[in-house]
Amino acid sequence: MTTERQAVGAYGERVAARYLQDAGLVVLYRNWRCPDGELDLVLRDGDVLVFCEVKTRRSDLYGTPAEAVTPEKVHRLRHLANRWLEETGLHARTLRFDVVEVLPQPRGASRVRHLPAAF
């Protein structure tokens, strides 16, 4: 991954974390990594444990950011969530998988769209 793409992704994750915190969610982990991959954000929304994939694109010319969450990516994210649960020992009665789209704008604040229970 190029440095520019990494910077765009890191920016989107910061924007998404702030947006979700402002909506009342509590960030537990950012960029949790294991040999199988990475979870962008792990949060708590009341009693619900939320695994959130953040997708940032500079434009929607090739589709919305959420459209980049393919069935293969969903499968991998569910696997990573199970690894996270095993490794941390944290549990919740309800799990949710969200997507947050971030579209930086030429001027002003980025457009952010939160898709709860996206998959």
Checking if the pLDDT of 1 tops 70, the result is: no
* Average pLDDT rounded to a whole number, residues 37-65: 93
Residues in contact with 70: Cβ distance below 8 Å, sequence separation at least 6, in sequence order? none
Question: Per the structure, how many domains does the chain have?
Answer: 1
- The model's pTM: 0.92
Residue type, 5: R
Checking if the pLDDT of 27 tops 90, the result is: yes
Residue among 101, 118, 99, 6 nearest 63 (CA): 101
| CATH at 86 | 3.40.1350.10
* Average pLDDT rounded to a whole number, residues 79-102: 95
Domain span at residue 101? 3-115
